[in-house]
Amino acid sequence: MPGLRQEHLPVNSGTMAKLGKYKELIECFINKSGEKNAFEAAELIVNKSGILEKLLTEEKTVENISRQENIRELLNAVFGFVEGKDRRVQTFKDET
């Protein structure tokens, strides 16, 4: 994947920096997904993205609580999938 350069996108430098960090995060997930089982990869994504942490620090609305529960349920489903097995991300995606 070629590097992001500001001359290719009509965005300011702050947005460009955020896009660069996002690109690095996605590349990390792609690289790690082949070496981790599906649960480890899902946990890595939740932790590195900060999605659950952000929801925990936001206002305790019904929607935010529901989102937190959905993330936990997803992690539990993935854990159940790999329990006792060494299943990879692709296998989980193929079977769900």
- Determine the pLDDT at residue 1: 40
Q: Is residue 4's pLDDT more than 70?
A: no
Tens of pLDDT, residues 6-64: 566 778 888 888 888 889 989 988 888 788 888 888 999 999 999 888 988 888 899 99
**Which DSSP symbol is given to 4?**
P
CB atoms within 10 A of CB 13: 8
Return the higher-pLDDT residue of 81 and 26: 26
To the nearest 5 percent, what fractions of the chain are helix, strand and coil? 75, 0, 25
Cα–Cα nearest to 72, from 55, 92, 90: 55
CB atoms within 10 A of CB 70: 11
pTM: 0.67
Q: Is residue 88's pLDDT more than 80?
A: no
